[in-house]
Amino acid sequence: SSDVCSSDLGDERRTLILLLNLGDQACSSGDFAAALDWGRQAEVEALRLDDPGLLSLVLSNLCTAELFLSHTDAAEAYARRAVPLLRHSTGLLYFGESLAWLAAQRGRLPEAAQLLGYSDAIQQARGVVRQPAEQRLVSALLSLLEAGAEPARIARWRAQGAQWSEAQALANGLPD
């Protein structure tokens, strides 16, 4: 975006955005260990800059990379740190699929499908096109859902989630 090229960002913020982009690229290419490395460096920078909006994106990316590596507990820890910060950035716009996959891995199939339905609806409403890593995540999520529930039930759950508000999605994303 033009924001990234702005001269008033400062070197520290530019470094953080570069680290975020490198982590995104690594995740998109399937190198999840590298995505974690870049993400951990970005986390240090975001904490140092005290930028909750960018920290929420970093934590979301770390959660996703951990999910791809089947590190469910680590992914959930990052998700729990990210969720309270989402209001400072894009909300669930880019994180709904990760919360859905986490729910599916925890055996919460209805919530997983509902979160996916919510994510589908909000992204469609805002004209967001899923990137390769997000498409890969959704494919893995659908495989988990299809292994545990009938297609009609999955479709019904997704339709329910498509009607949710962000508050409902957040409340159902990570139970206490």
Q: Is 29 left (phi over 0), alpha (psi -120 to 50) or beta?
A: alpha
**The pair of three-digit structure tokens given for residue 99, joined into one six-digit string:** 């919360």
pLDDT above 90 (res 8) = no
pTM of the model: 0.87
- Would you say 13 and 20 are in contact if contact means Cβ atoms under 8 Å apart? no
Closest by Cα among 98, 111, 93 to 149: 111
Model pLDDT, residue 9: 57
Alpha carbon distance 58, 1 (integer Å): 17
pLDDT above 70 (res 134) = yes
Closest by Cα among 26, 98, 5, 29 to 57: 98
**The pair of three-digit structure tokens given for residue 147, joined into one six-digit string:** 């292994």
Helices (H), strands (E): how many in the chain? 10, 0
Q: Which of 13-22, 45-54, 128-137, 152-161 has the lowest mean pLDDT?
A: 128-137
Give the model confidence (pLDDT) of 18-64 as tens digits: 999 999 999 989 999 999 999 999 999 999 999 899 999 999 999 99
Whole-number average pLDDT of the chain: 90
Q: How confident is residue 1, by pLDDT bands cut at 50, 70 and 90?
A: very low
